[in-house]
Chains A and B, each alone.
Chain A
Amino acid sequence: MIGWLQGLGRYTLELLARLGREGLFLLRLLQAQVFLFSRPGLVLPQIHFLGVRSLPIIAVSGFFVGMVLGLQGYVNLVKFGAESSLGALVALSLVRELGPVVAALLYAGRAGSALTAEIGLMKTTEQLAGMEMMAVDPFKRVLAPRFMAGCIAMPLLAGIFTAVGILGGYFVAVEQLGTDSGAFWSQMQAAVEFREDVVNGVVIKSIVFSIVANWIALFEGYDTEPTAEGVGRATTRTVVNTSLAVLALDFVLTALLFGAK
Chain B
Amino acid sequence: MHSIRVLAPADLLVAVRGLSFSRGERVIFEQVDIDIRRGKITAIMGPSGTGKTTLLNLIGGLLQPAAGSIEVDGERVDELGLTELYRLRKRMGMLFQSSALFTDLSVFENVAFPLREHTSLPESIIHTLVLMKLEAVGLRGARDLFPSELSGGMARRVALARAIALDPMMIMYDEPFAGQDPISMGVLVKLIRTLNDALGLTSIVVSHDIKETASIADYIYLISNGRVVEQGTPAALDRSTSPWVEQFVHGLPDGPVPFHYPAPPYETDLLTGSAL
In the bound complex, do residue B102 and residue A136 qualify as a contact, i.e. CB atoms below 8 Å apart?
no
Say yes or no: is B100 at the interface (Cβ < 8 Å to chain A).
yes
Q: Which of A126, A127, A130 has the most CB of B within 10 A?
A: A130
Residues of the A chain whose Cβ atoms lie less than 8 Å from the Cβ of B90 = 134-135
Q: Which of B90, B92, B97, B117 has the most CB of A within 10 A?
A: B117
In the assembled complex, the CB of B273 is this many whole angstroms from the nearest CB of chain A, namely: 24
Residues of the A chain whose Cβ atoms lie less than 8 Å from the Cβ of B102 = 127
Chain B interface extent, by class: 20 to 34
> With A127-B102, A127-B103, A137-B86 given, is the CB distance from A132 to B62 under 8 Å?
yes
Say yes or no: is A247 at the interface (Cβ < 8 Å to chain B).
no
In the bound complex, do residue A126 and residue B98 qualify as a contact, i.e. CB atoms below 8 Å apart?
yes
Residues of the B chain whose Cβ atoms lie less than 8 Å from the Cβ of A135 = 86-87, 89-90, 114, 117-118
Say yes or no: is B96 at the interface (Cβ < 8 Å to chain A).
yes
Say yes or no: is B244 at the interface (Cβ < 8 Å to chain A).
no
In the assembled complex, the CB of A197 is this many whole angstroms from the nearest CB of chain B, namely: 42
Say yes or no: is A257 at the interface (Cβ < 8 Å to chain B).
no
In the bound complex, do residue A134 and residue B89 qualify as a contact, i.e. CB atoms below 8 Å apart?
yes
In the bound complex, do residue B96 and residue A130 qualify as a contact, i.e. CB atoms below 8 Å apart?
yes
In the bound complex, do residue A126 and residue B89 qualify as a contact, i.e. CB atoms below 8 Å apart?
no
In the bound complex, do residue A133 and residue B117 qualify as a contact, i.e. CB atoms below 8 Å apart?
no
Q: Report whether over half of chain B's contact residues are helix, strand or loop; otherwise say mixed.
A: mixed
* Cross-interface CB contact of A133 among B89, B98, B103, cutoff 8 Å: B89
> With A126-B100, A127-B102 given, is the CB distance from A141 to B117 under 8 Å?
yes
Residues of the B chain whose Cβ atoms lie less than 8 Å from the Cβ of A76 = none
Residues of the A chain whose Cβ atoms lie less than 8 Å from the Cβ of B92 = 133
In the bound complex, do residue A129 and residue B96 qualify as a contact, i.e. CB atoms below 8 Å apart?
yes
In the assembled complex, the CB of B159 is this many whole angstroms from the nearest CB of chain A, namely: 8
Number of residues from A at the complex interface, CB < 8 A:
12
Per-residue contact bits, chain B 227-253, to A (CB 8 Å; 1 contact, 0 not): 000000000000000000000000000
Per-residue contact bits, chain A 128-164, to B (CB 8 Å; 1 contact, 0 not): 0110111111000100000000000000000000000
Per-residue contact bits, chain A 102-145, to B (CB 8 Å; 1 contact, 0 not): 00000000000000000000000111011011111100010000
Q: Which of B87, B92, B102 has the most CB of A within 10 A?
A: B102
Residues of the A chain whose Cβ atoms lie less than 8 Å from the Cβ of B97 = 126
Per-residue contact bits, chain B 40-64, to A (CB 8 Å; 1 contact, 0 not): 0000000000000000010010100
Residues of the B chain whose Cβ atoms lie less than 8 Å from the Cβ of A127 = 100-103
Residues of the A chain whose Cβ atoms lie less than 8 Å from the Cβ of B205 = none
Q: Complex Cα distance A125/B155, Å?
A: 13
| Residue on B nearest A141 in the bound complex, by CB | B117
In the bound complex, do residue A133 and residue B87 qualify as a contact, i.e. CB atoms below 8 Å apart?
no
Residues of the A chain whose Cβ atoms lie less than 8 Å from the Cβ of B166 = 134
In the assembled complex, the CB of B123 is this many whole angstroms from the nearest CB of chain A, namely: 15
Say yes or no: is B201 at the interface (Cβ < 8 Å to chain A).
no
In the assembled complex, the CB of A135 is this many whole angstroms from the nearest CB of chain B, namely: 4
Residues of the B chain whose Cβ atoms lie less than 8 Å from the Cβ of A125 = 98, 100, 103
12 A-B pairs in the complex with CB atoms less than 8 angstroms apart: A125-B98, A126-B98, A129-B62, A129-B96, A133-B62, A134-B90, A134-B117, A135-B89, A135-B90, A135-B114, A136-B114, A137-B82
* Given A125-B103, A126-B96, A133-B96, 13 further pairs, Cβ under 8 A: A126-B97, A127-B101, A129-B62, A130-B159, A132-B89, A134-B89, A134-B90, A134-B113, A135-B86, A136-B117, A136-B118, A137-B86, A141-B117
The 7 closest A-B pairs by CB, nearest first: A130-B100, A126-B100, A135-B86, A135-B89, A133-B94, A126-B96, A135-B90
